[in-house]
Chain A
């Protein structure tokens, strides 16, 4: 019963992979080695495709590997298996959270958590920015500081940010425009 086994394997990944999508990679590597269901080389393709398609990376990878192992039903089963623990765990936490709202200790914990999340998102945003707008590789080769900046993209970034502040459109509108601009200007 490959489907049941597949569900079980991804259920475990969903429980133990703490820290988002990329945290599932070591588990998938292990799965490849222990079951022989797919070659380890598949993982590189999987990461490339998962990063260049919309949706959370961890989910994309689960669907991809599931498809590779057991076709379309495999993709669906692997994905649902990986998500199920989240639904259970988060629902249970939510249940208790509503009970403890207003509790001094819980409120104090959130007092520390909010700025922490802001800091984490700044770090995540910077690492996206580094890949998206700076040519670190070229800079390492030439050492010229001007090579670090991709001027076209920086100007575009400033324009997008100004547009977000001024027009307050739905983010999807900016994403769609950015895709078109990227193609037209050959980013």
Chain B
């Protein structure tokens, strides 16, 4: 890869990689360092990229590993709790977004994503922000498919409950069709 191609690569992925690192590290300064270190690693190891996965997936795996290394060095490694992988899928009713103004919803989501446990937040970020499929998330994080689905379900549940808690209780939301 030439310097020019690498420049394009950085331009394409730097914002998304930073979002992912922020979700994992919960700290802007650490996240910037992690992303810069990840790009340096990607640059040095570009010859090892075989094209088995997309280059984005490969980069996200480097970012994920780099963030875990930082968390380990800060003694903040996330705990891998055992999960029930047979939980029902959770989804958010579209009407819920019409009941509060956009700025408030964005504030709620930002707060909840920042407060969400690391391994849930990173899976949510990979799925909703980086547009990764379940299989890609498995490849990036090394989690099992069932764990990825469960973390996504619980992440959605946390966000849904946070939005609902700001609403007046109404019968239609109280009787949601899912969990």
Whether chain B is bound by chain A comes out as no
